[in-house]
A and B are shown apart, each in its own frame.
Chain A
């Protein structure tokens, strides 16, 4: 049972207030994209043991989406940040580097 800090309303939200939204930082592919690009966007997902970036919605709360950087094995949360971005903020990447030297996730490290 996680507890995640909602960066939108400032509440440390119990997992039962939250709705999970899967992997973060996907790039939408629309008409004109190749089958491979579209497959990547819609179906192919990371399944890391360790650092992961996820989407969450404070559904039973302020209703807003946010992102969480989390370790899938220890549940350590490296930070949460608003959803209006296409990549994690440097501050959170630094914290991950501090806690998990040598981490990689997609093209990030």
Chain B
């Protein structure tokens, strides 16, 4: 059983006890513990269940590569699944629970999957859940959904906050081990700006645990000195708990800072996502030890040799009284020495190599550790925890030579450089035959905007595994980064003594000749339960590409992204295919290096700040007067203003009626207002609009249509000519920014010689529609301008003052009523709105929203961009030929409208639709014709584009696009509804109300 040792623990503060719970049980640890070390210290080796077979699993690693010890953390608004216990700092009050079991961690019904494992091989789901088809929806999918996923999804809203932080700097050094510190020191001495980040809560990486001696001092001392020197430099920033998450194009990288994971609730942002532009990126990300594939290598108590040493040295955790070491390299001997130094037993080191000597091997032998050469583990004894190992000859088939009782197994299959960040953006790798790993190919670095290398990789991440070489490589890497910035610096490195090491031996399966039964118990991917036999099956079934084998077996597709499993997996694949590992290649490394929180990705963009809401100067009034909202672009426009006790529908009907009978008030501020000025402005507008704008007289307005270059109607609005060389173009609410950009695009990129300037004045003005028979009376009460029928005609505009407020008044109408749109400075918009309400009170004035606006325009047969148009409709479809100039040689969209398809007579055209029963047609309903198409669907001959209940006419009215529509007046069409019934509607003129325009012409 694992326990806490009485002394030691370089990261522990034994004076500070920390209380936490695991599966509801109260436990204590020390400040400096991780959740994993604290659990191990309490004898809790079993930490979770595997994904597929629900096998009991314990912690394997001590860092971010951990595949097994995934926990649910926190509760309520701070609940998070799948958090690695190895990277979770312990804090007072931490709540953790294990995952993927029922009813309990110790007794899990799902474990039955394990005894069925021979029936659940790779590809099982693909092969099994296909036939019969109807089973998919009702049987297979619910089953798969229940078994899918590890942790539970959070149910409550996240209570924490998150933020982004954008910086540009010369150099980012990722990794605060000795390589990162040395590289940072070197590059910083050149004067460059440096940001050094480290994912853990402490500097130095694993050198102190490995007993490194640097410049004649223990590593800890050198590290403290290096950090102090860096902290003293003006041009250096240091950041702990910050992981290099991804490297992208042009020196862009993300760093994920876990600001307050260990101090939850202190009102700091929980995570901060650093969005960094670096001129050089130095990755000093170290290496990860590989497991060995032997039967039972997933039994709790089997750990990486380096992790065992970490737990002993960093956190004073004994993995058990007796630990057997199994290895193919010298490094694992350090674990044996560390265990012995802590007073623990090492019954044997099983070294797969036939003959080893010198260096660490000799040291181990010297203190009496039994070293067995050419040996391996035939299988691990024990189920929920290690009870011993059966020893075999590595070169054989697994005949058991002896059984050694033990509580833990420390395994080492060699080291793989962490090349993820190097590879994210195109850095290439090469296979190192002597160390059996992929290491960065320095000649094929990721490149930046200038096509030059943008990254340097140093230390263990570069395949250097000895202290002295790591430091030398890091100093040189730092100097390289500096040189690329045009700075010179001596690559002066701290020194360490040369180490003697026996060559490692590639061991991908243990023992070499293991039969199927043993291979079926050798785990490659612990989290996704992928075994040696699964990869071999995939190869046999033809999934020979590493990318295919990965997806077929799910090797490396778990939350750890195969940090421990990928190399072993592809070695097994290569072996099965009888190819070399470099020929098989690796899968693609993709960011993030380890999962980052969704909150950090969203940053501040949540709740009220999820997206910008644009408000008009009258927004507060609308809000205070019960407006229901319609989002239009980012604007919020009042949809209607229901009064207490009134339904929205009734409010809309009332608003239309009030406006038609007396006077209504509309906040039209959101409409785009773009000024176009210059000697060539008229010529320019003639190209933009389908009709002629250059002939418009000063003081007058004209309705205009704008098409895209491929002929489709994209916007409409009223254009006013302000002076000889100045026009004011109104656009739709959603169109203001787009149309302004459209104008600028043509001016800047096509007609750059034309003398035209534009300015988007949309927000300078509050624009208020005063609409209805009493509109003139209201404005006359405000006083200041002559807006009489004789002097201010339909489609006139004038500047002046109303009630002492500067105003520009347009006599235009989108409702068919006598109507004035008044633009006043936005800073006085609310004031003017209030004045209109006061002046109109005697007429029963009421504001109306967008729905009343829509109904009134539909009653008049006016089209609405986005209703009658959908990006496939040309003005000719809408009967707007009158607004297309025949005199112009050219306008944007004219050539496209001459294309054969655009000129076809059978394009659907705009008509009015009147239901025979007076009901309101469903929006978007299709009119059907006789017959069916090749897919068995009814042939259609038209569709509804706008449909409303008209309070003015007391019936449903609609507009639609219908095949040969204008030629079929009076015909009745069938519109099937989703409930299967059919509504019949007659084709009529789209102008339903006041066909002669008498109401607006008063």
Contact = CB atoms under 8 A, between A and B. Distances in A.
Do the two chains bind? yes
Interface of A: 1-4, 14, 19, 21, 28-33, 35, 38, 42, 55, 57, 59, 63-65, 71, 74-77, 83-84, 99
A95 to B, nearest CB: 10
A71 B450 CA distance: 11
Interface stretch (B597-605, B744-752, B823-831, B956-964): B744-752
B27 to A, nearest CB: 44
B84 interface: no
Contacts of A1: 248-250, 252
Q: Which 10 A-B pairs have the closest CB atoms?
A: A76-B451, A1-B252, A84-B752, A65-B748, A3-B250, A30-B890, A75-B249, A83-B749, A77-B449, A31-B895
Contact of B277 (A14, A29, A63, A77): A14
B662 interface: no
Given A14-B277, A38-B899, A42-B709, A2 B449 contact: yes
Main secondary structure of the interface of B (DSSP, over half): mixed
A53 to B, nearest CB: 13
Given A1-B250, A3-B252, A75-B449, A35 B899 contact: yes
18 contacts: A1-B249, A2-B449, A3-B449, A30-B895, A31-B894, A31-B898, A42-B709, A65-B748, A65-B749, A74-B426, A75-B449, A76-B449, A76-B450, A77-B449, A77-B450, A83-B748, A83-B752, A84-B752
Contacts of B166: 14
B896 A2 contact: no
Nearest to A71: B451
Interface string B883-907: 0000001100011101110000000
Interface in B683-709: 709
Contacts of A4: 449
Interface in B235-269: 248-252
Contacts of A99: 451
Nearest to B900: A35
B754 to A, nearest CB: 12
Given A31-B889, A31-B894, A75 B250 contact: yes
Interface centre among A31, A33, A71, A83 (most CB of B within 10 A): A31
Nearest to B889: A31
A89 B568 CA distance: 52
A31 B891 CA distance: 9
B708 to A, nearest CB: 10
B748 to A, nearest CB: 5
Given A76-B449, A76-B451, A28 B894 contact: no
B741 interface: yes
B745 A2 contact: no
Contacts of B896: 38, 42
A50 B889 CA distance: 39
B628 interface: no
Contacts of B752: 83-84
A65 B743 CA distance: 12
Nearest to B252: A1
Nearest to A78: B451
Nearest to A38: B895
Contact of A84 (B249, B748, B899): B748
Contacts of B42: none
Contacts of A3: 250-252, 277, 449
Nearest to A2: B250
A40 to B, nearest CB: 12
Contacts of B709: 42
Given A2-B449, A99-B451, A29 B248 contact: no
Contacts of B251: 3
A3 B900 CA distance: 43
Contact of B744 (A63, A77, A84): A63
B83 interface: no
B447 interface: yes
A87 B894 CA distance: 26
B920 interface: no
Given A3-B277, A30-B894, A42-B709, A74 B748 contact: no
Given A59-B741, A64-B748, 11 more contacts: A1-B248, A2-B250, A14-B277, A29-B895, A30-B894, A35-B900, A42-B709, A65-B749, A74-B426, A74-B451, A75-B447
Nearest to B425: A75
Nearest to A99: B451
A93 to B, nearest CB: 16
Nearest to A59: B741
Interface centre among A55, A76, A77 (most CB of B within 10 A): A76
B788 to A, nearest CB: 43
A2 B277 CA distance: 10
A55 B750 CA distance: 12
Nearest to A70: B449
A42 B709 CA distance: 8
Contacts of A32: 895
A78 B85 CA distance: 47
A76 B332 CA distance: 44
Interface string B405-432: 0000000000000000000001000000
Interface centre among A29, A42, A55 (most CB of B within 10 A): A42
B710 interface: yes
A23 to B, nearest CB: 12
A21 B895 contact: no
Given A2-B249, A76-B450, A99-B451, A21 B745 contact: yes
Nearest to A35: B899
A28 B751 CA distance: 11
Contacts of B250: 1-3, 75
Contacts of A83: 748-749, 752
A70 B451 CA distance: 10
A33 B895 CA distance: 8
A49 to B, nearest CB: 15
B945 to A, nearest CB: 26
Contacts of A57: 741, 745
Interface string B446-477: 01011100000000000000000000000000
B765 to A, nearest CB: 21
Contacts of B710: 42
Nearest to B747: A65
B746 to A, nearest CB: 9
